[in-house]
Amino acid sequence: MIPFGAKVKHKYTPLEGIVVARTEWMNGCVQSEVVPNALKDGEPIKVWVDDDDLEVISCLTETEVNGPTGGDRSDHPTGPD
């Protein structure tokens, strides 16, 4: 399974981007949503691709994927509770 935040390349097209979501279907098909670096009309494109058709280029660390954990979050827009 391709991890969230992985930079991937499609094996058969020039598509490259970051995995941001995943679906797993009853028939066993696993797909990842890839957000490419390129924009279309100024907006990011989201593409669902079978995991078997993707190659992992690099992976982000857990902190890069999830953001910093613990500590004071008073700088967060929702503020502390």
pLDDT digits (tens, 9 = 90+) for 26-42: 999 999 999 998 778 88
Q: Which helix (H) or strand (E) holds 66?
A: helix 62-66
Q: Is residue 44 part of a domain?
A: yes
Q: Is residue 77 part of a domain?
A: no
**What pLDDT score does 40 carry?**
81
Q: Is residue 12 part of a domain?
A: yes
State which residues form the domain around 40.
Answer: 7-62
Q: Is residue 68 part of a domain?
A: no
Q: Is residue 79 part of a domain?
A: no
pTM: 0.68
Distance CA 79, CA 81 (A): 7
Distance CA 50, CA 23 (A): 10
Distance CA 37, CA 44 (A): 8
**What pLDDT score does 71 carry?**
55
Mean pLDDT of 63-70: 54
Beta-bridged to residue 8, according to DSSP, are 17, 56
**What pLDDT score does 69 carry?**
52
Contact, 56 vs 16, CB < 8 A?
no
Q: Report the domain count for the chain.
A: 1
The answer on pLDDT for 19 being more than 90 is yes
The answer on pLDDT for 64 being more than 80 is no
